[in-house]
Each structure stands twice: as structure tokens, then as C-alpha cells.
Chain A
Amino acid sequence: MPVYYYIFLSATLFTIGVIGVLVRRSAIIVFMCIELMLNAANLLLVAFSKMHSQAIGATHPTAATDAQIFVFFSMVVAAAEVSVGLAIIVLMYRNVHSVDVNFLNRLKN
């Protein structure tokens, strides 16, 4: 299967995530859209790793494995990011009793 199928699938998922971040105002939904964008990038990294394991696998046998380790570490960082981000959202809900991101303009003026 040519790699451009995966490129366009990942671009579509990433774009849906961008639209969600721009359009929705609930902080939880915005955060989930960020997770979706991270997953789209991970999917493309895995697809490229399989592409390169076929193209240059004979001369660089560890290239595909290194790429997938990279995806693994990106998942690790995403898990740590979610725990802190959700704690911040809980704190915001406790202070303003809403998860609407439009309430987060308190630093203005």
C-alpha cells in the first residue's frame, strides 16, 4: 500500500483535531482533540517506519525499530501530559465552576 494513503489519513485526523480545538469551547473536548492530533502524528511515524524498513532495511536494520521506540516515547510523554493537564482542568473547574475556555481571559487588563 503506498504511503500517501497514510499521509492523507493522518492529515485528515490532524485537521479534525485542529477544527475541534478552534471550534469547541469545553476545555475537556479541546484536550481530547489535542490527543487526537498526537495520535495522528504517531500513526504517520509508524507508517514511515514501515516504509523505510522496506526501502533501506537492508543497509539500516535498526531504522524501523528506532522509529517505533520514538513513537513509544511520544506515548509516554502524552500520558504524563494528560495527568497534569487534567489536574489543571479540575483546578480551573473548582475556581470558576465551568470548563469553558472563554473564562480563561482573567489575565487580560
Chain B
Amino acid sequence: MSITEILFWFLSVLAVGGAMLLVASKNPVHSILYLIITFFAVSGHYILLNAQFLAIVNIIVYAGAIMVLFLFVVMLMNLNADSEPPQKNRLLLYSGTIAGCCLLLVLVAALKQSSTTSQLVEMGGGDAGLIKNLGMALFSDYVFPFEISSVLFLSAMIGAVVISKKEA
């Protein structure tokens, strides 16, 4: 087993375990911390695939900004383990879990036979994900979507302020 495979399995277990604990934990603050673990594991996968720019952006945007925003909102509302009363209808809980497992089963069964799934992924090599190449593409071919996304951010910012104003 090479070091790449060991790292792949370690990061996969970390990501899936963090996601499961996110769904299972009662306290919303703990859920957020588990989701941060999952995001760091996904960033580790990006580094393993040599997508350095996306790994850094994932840490800064998701694990940094978005999760701090979540934590801020949870603490602002003073949510704790009692704020979500336990699911009284056990049938709903089991049926949701079984439906999700069926979805996973269908996805795995449908994709297992495909011929493309046995193609190899380039690990650790290639210069497609380097900051230089992505920056050149972003500011030459994709400069118009980049500018449009600034308008999107402006409208999201104004929308968030207008929605959460005290007297609408």
C-alpha cells in the first residue's frame, strides 16, 4: 500500500466519519465542528489530487468564512441540544435513513458497470490545478463570469441586509 493510498483512506474515513457525526450529534455547535473536519478532509483530497488552488479556496471560503458564519448564527440564536426536540415519529427517522441507503445502493449499482469508472485519476502530478494556470484562465477566458459573480455577491449582500432588517 503506497503512501497515497494510505492518505486517501485516512482522509476518506475522516470525511465520512465527520459527516455521520454531523448528522447524528444533538448539539448544533458540535455539528458545525464536525462539518469543519469534513471540509478539511475534502481539502486534503484536493491537495492529494494536486488541485492546490481549490484546496486553499476550500479552506478559506468553506472552513473559514462559511463555517464562522454558521457558528455566529447558532451562537446568536443561543441554540443548544434542547432547541430541537427529539423526533417523536420514529418511523420518519427510519424511513429517511432507509431511503438514503437505497439512494446510495442505486448510485453504486448504476455506476459499477460503467466502463469509465475504472479509468485512472492522476494523483499528485499535473499542473492543471496550480494557482498560476487557474489564474491565467480566470482572468483571460473567464473574466466575464468572474465580473458577473461580483454582481452576484453584491446582490446577495444587499439581499441579506434587506431580509434581516428589523422593520421591513
A-side interface residues toward B, CB under 8 Å? 1-9, 11-20, 22-26, 28-29, 31-33, 35-36, 39, 42-43, 46-47, 49-51, 53-55, 57, 62, 64-66, 68-69, 71-73, 75-84, 86-91, 93, 98-100
Contacts and interface: CB of A to CB of B under 8 A. Distances in A.
Interface of B: 4-5, 8, 12, 15-16, 19-20, 22-23, 28, 31-32, 35, 38-39, 42, 45-46, 49-51, 53-54, 57-58, 61-62, 65-66, 69-70, 73-74, 76-77, 79, 83-85, 87, 92-93, 96-97, 99-101, 103-104, 107-108, 111-112, 116-123, 126, 128-129, 133-134, 137-138, 141-142, 145, 149, 152-153, 155-157, 159-161, 163-164
A70 B62 CA distance: 16
B19 A7 contact: no
B65 to A, nearest CB: 7
Given A36-B19, A78-B62, 4 more contacts: A11-B108, A36-B35, A68-B134, A83-B157
Contacts of B87: 23, 25
B49 A19 contact: no
A31 to B, nearest CB: 8
A47 B87 CA distance: 37
A23 B19 contact: no
A23 B97 contact: yes
B139 to A, nearest CB: 11
B131 to A, nearest CB: 11
A99 B70 CA distance: 13
A42 B15 CA distance: 14
In the complex, the 4 A-B pairs of residues with the closest C-beta atoms, listed nearest first: A64-B128, A22-B96, A19-B100, A80-B156
